């Protein structure tokens, strides 16, 4: 029997136990990605092994452990957090992106693991594309890759089981397209690829396709499952007891059977010889692909549902507009309280989360937050993914900038907004940073661009005013946003760190964030974020052009501005935005919240 650690063990003790298990398996290095069998961004507890082993809680990072080394590769959003959480654990921070980039983890493994040795990883949580890149790098240096090694069952006491929350239907009027129609869309796309079968593991794709939602992943209304779509029927592989009988009956009427979660691999193995299976190599694991017989033809392409769900229907867009009014009203209520209470009662970063969540929870259709609220005062705001805890948080007092990045899930849409507000007296340098970031937000928000342009190419529009000031930021400018789904979704992404691939094309109906920033470690951070919708601009002899409709409704604090840095057209945009915010939120607020709204939307 393998000795297990007590749950209260230290990180060094956990790493020692892992190394013992590696030695028993003949593995020289063990790779732990931040992933589950569905390659999710946010993970159910069962697959948070990287966090359990390293102590680093950021949502993005890869852990590599050898006999004498342990390191977490993560990007600049998490460097300060990782430095703090990894201190004293024996795990090193390996910085990615920007001018201080270290070698990617697979290159590091190839260069640091001895020829003839074996690198182990659980193929059930390793993407196909990642597995191929890793295998190629290792093979070139004579290192073997083994993908059947899940060591966590042997070393992790009380490892969480599969989540058990019930699946529920996302019904009309919020779900405006029937499940049967979506399945027909997918089958037409399959036929265009010459495929009779299609395997989907991505949780938000499944939730969208089947008009179902769940609560298996924090902040994302999805459920753990796989699906196999056939020519006339489909199978949903989900843990027993999660689908109520009435819902199973409704699925059956659309020729969808509910099967045990563990049977997905068997279904792939039973595919008929000579048939063609469509998979997305970026959204399926190597372990799943290994279940497919060699007699089955495999076609690789982006999941069709990824494209379809990114292009919101007009009915969905209208629901989102209504959602933004409710969310904006909640923010007005919160900020009215905050400004009235500041200096009169103790307010911490945790208080902000509590009060803001409560304000949203009072709004119709509220389900949950869409991510953990980021409330960072002064130096904490310089960490893009900072999160206050009971053990470590700041009191909001004195002078400085408070950054609040928050959002919510409503039955009628998903929100994500960042605002920065002054506390006490702020400096001219802080005003300058705020204004420069706002210029970046406005520049991209006002842009007109050809339909089909690859979204990463738009990134420089927001960065140009920031680059002009000799500054930059280490994260992307924008991410796609789901419809009562994941707050991060593809295929579009506005980031020069992302490849400008054909599937990143901007199309009508996509919702994306616009969120440039400036971060000064140890001092303050500024980020101003709105969500925008791709809408038609005009047609010319050069083609179709799109523009952005700003969806988010919340004042941008003009007390933080250096007005001398704004052009007349920029002032006009800001005044027009504030007029729209005031007009649309006024019917939803009263009393102190309405007075605050009137004050903070005055023209400059």
Split at pLDDT 50, 70, 90, the class of 585 is: very high
Split at pLDDT 50, 70, 90, the class of 8 is: low
Query: How many Å separate Cα 123 from the centre of its chain?
Result: 22
Coil/strand/helix, residue 567: coil
Domains 11-155 and 168-309 share a fold: yes
What are the extents of the domains in the chain? 11-155, 168-309, 311-600
Average pLDDT rounded to a whole number, residues 580-584: 98
- List, in order, residues 6 or more apart from 363 with CB less than 8 Å away: 326, 327, 329, 330, 410
User: Could you give the angle at which helices 591-600 and 314-341 cross, rounded to 10 degrees?
Assistant: 100
Architecture of domain 311-600: Alpha-Beta Complex (3.90)
* In contact, 220 and 59? CB cutoff 8 Å: no
Q: Give residue 97's pLDDT.
A: 65
Distance (Å, rounded) from C-alpha 438 to C-alpha 93?
A: 32
Question: pLDDT at residue 101 above 50?
Answer: no
Q: Could you tell me which of 417, 404, 412 has the C-alpha nearest to residue 375? A: 404
Question: pLDDT at residue 457 above 80?
Answer: yes
Q: Give 41 or 184, the one with higher predicted confidence.
A: 184
Q: pTM of the entire structure?
A: 0.91
Split at pLDDT 50, 70, 90, the class of 246 is: very high
End-to-end Cα spacing for the chain: 72
* In contact, 310 and 357? CB cutoff 8 Å: no
Structure-block tokens of residue 2: 């393998």
Distance (Å, rounded) from C-alpha 198 to C-alpha 233?
A: 11
Q: Give residue 168's pLDDT.
A: 97
Q: Give residue 103's pLDDT.
A: 58
Split at pLDDT 50, 70, 90, the class of 158 is: confident
- List, in order, residues 6 or more apart from 463 with CB less than 8 Å away: 440, 472, 473, 477, 496, 516
Question: pLDDT at residue 243 above 90?
Answer: yes
Question: What are the φ and ψ backbone dihedral angles of 376, each rounded to 5 degrees?
Answer: -125, 120
CATH class assigned to 11-155: alpha beta
Q: Give residue 6's pLDDT.
A: 52
As a whole number, the mean pLDDT across the chain is: 94
| pLDDT per position as a tens digit, 513-541 | 999 999 999 999 999 999 999 999 999 99
Q: What percent of the chain has pLDDT over 70?
A: 98
Which CATH number describes the domain made up of 168-309? 3.40.350.10
Average pLDDT rounded to a whole number, residues 5-19: 83
Distance (Å, rounded) from C-alpha 51 to C-alpha 43?
A: 10
CA distances in angstroms from 476 to 71, 113, 449, 497, 515, listed in the order given:
24, 33, 19, 7, 8
Distance (Å, rounded) from C-alpha 155 to C-alpha 157?
A: 6
Split at pLDDT 50, 70, 90, the class of 77 is: confident
Distance (Å, rounded) from C-alpha 79 to C-alpha 96?
A: 9
Question: pLDDT at residue 5 above 70?
Answer: no
Question: pLDDT at residue 139 above 70?
Answer: yes
| pLDDT per position as a tens digit, 361-384 | 999 999 999 999 999 999 999 988
> How many contiguous H segments (helices) and E segments (strands) does the chain have?
18, 28
**Considering only 75-79, 301-305, 534-538, 583-587, which range has the smallest mean pLDDT?**
75-79
């Amino acid at each position: 029997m393998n000795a297990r650690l007590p749950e209260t063990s230290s990180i060094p003790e956990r790493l020692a136990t892992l190394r013992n298990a590696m030695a028993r398996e003949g593995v020289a290095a063990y790779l732990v990605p931040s992933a589950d069998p569905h390659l999710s961004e946010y993970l159910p507890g069962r697959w948070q092994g990287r966090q359990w082993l390293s102590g680093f809680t950021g949502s993005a990072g890869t852990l590599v452990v050898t006999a004498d080394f342990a390191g977490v590769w993560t990007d600049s959003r998490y460097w300060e957090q990782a430095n703090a959480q990894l201190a004293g654990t024996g795990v090193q921070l390996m910085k990615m992106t920007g001018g201080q980039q270290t070698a990617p983890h697979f290159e590091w493994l190839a260069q640091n693991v001895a020829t003839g040795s074996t690198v182990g990883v659980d193929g059930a949580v390793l993407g196909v594309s990642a597995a191929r890149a890793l295998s190629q790098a290792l093979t070139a240096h004579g290192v073997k890759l083994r993908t059947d090694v899940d060591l966590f069952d042997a070393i992790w006491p009380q490892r969480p089981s599969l989540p058990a929350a019930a699946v529920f239907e996302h019904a009309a009027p919020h779900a405006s397209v029937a499940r049967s129609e979506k399945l027909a869309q997918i089958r037409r796309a399959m036929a265009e690829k010459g495929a009779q079968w299609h395997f989907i593991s991505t949780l938000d794709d499944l939730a969208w396709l089947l008009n179902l939602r769940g609560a298996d992943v924090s902040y994302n209304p999805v459920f753990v499952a796989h699906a196999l779509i056939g020519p006339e029927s489909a199978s949903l592989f989900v843990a027993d007891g999660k689908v109520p009988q009435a819902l199973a009956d409704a699925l059956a009427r659309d020729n969808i059977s509910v099967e045990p979660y563990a049977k997905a691999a068997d279904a792939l193995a039973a595919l008929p010889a000579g048939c063609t299976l469509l998979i997305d190599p970026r959204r399926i694991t190597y372990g799943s692909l290994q279940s497919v017989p060699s007699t089955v033809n495999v076609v690789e392409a982006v999941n069709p549902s990824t494209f379809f769900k990114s292009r919101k229907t007009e009915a969905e867009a209208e629901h989102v507009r209504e959602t933004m009014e409710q969310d904006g009203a909640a923010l007005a209520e919160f900020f009215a309280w905050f400004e009235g209470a500041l200096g009169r009662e103790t307010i911490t970063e945790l208080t902000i989360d509590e009060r803001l969540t409560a304000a949203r929870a009072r709004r119709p259709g509220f389900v949950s937050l869409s991510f953990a609220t980021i409330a960072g005062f002064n130096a904490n705001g310089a960490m893009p993914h900072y999160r206050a805890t009971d053990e470590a948080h700041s009191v909001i007092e004195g002078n400085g900038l408070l950054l609040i990045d928050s959002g919510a899930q409503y039955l009628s849409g998903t929100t994500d907004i960042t605002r920065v507000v002054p506390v006490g007296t702020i400096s001219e340098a802080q005003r300058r940073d705020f204004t420069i970031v706002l210029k970046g937000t406005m520049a991209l928000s006002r842009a007109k661009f050809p339909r089909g342009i690859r979204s990463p190419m738009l990134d420089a529009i927001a960065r140009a005013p920031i680059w002009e000031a000799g500054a930059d930021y280490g994260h992307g400018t924008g991410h796609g946003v789901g419809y009562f789904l994941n707050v991060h979704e593809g295929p579009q992404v506005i980031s020069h760190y992302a490849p400008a691939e054909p599937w990143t094309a901007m199309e009508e109906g996509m919702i994306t964030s616009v969120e440039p920033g400036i971060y000064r470690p140890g001092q303050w951070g500024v980020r101003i974020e709105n969500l925008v919708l791709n809408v038609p601009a005009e047609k010319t002899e050069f083609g179709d052009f799109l523009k952005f409709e700003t969806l988010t409704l919340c004042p941008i604090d003009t007390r933080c501005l250096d007005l001398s840095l704004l052009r007349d057209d920029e002032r006009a945009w800001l005044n027009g935005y504030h007029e729209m915010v005031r007009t649309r939120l006024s019917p939803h607020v009263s009393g102190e919240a309405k007075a605050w709204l009137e004050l903070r939307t005055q023209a400059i």
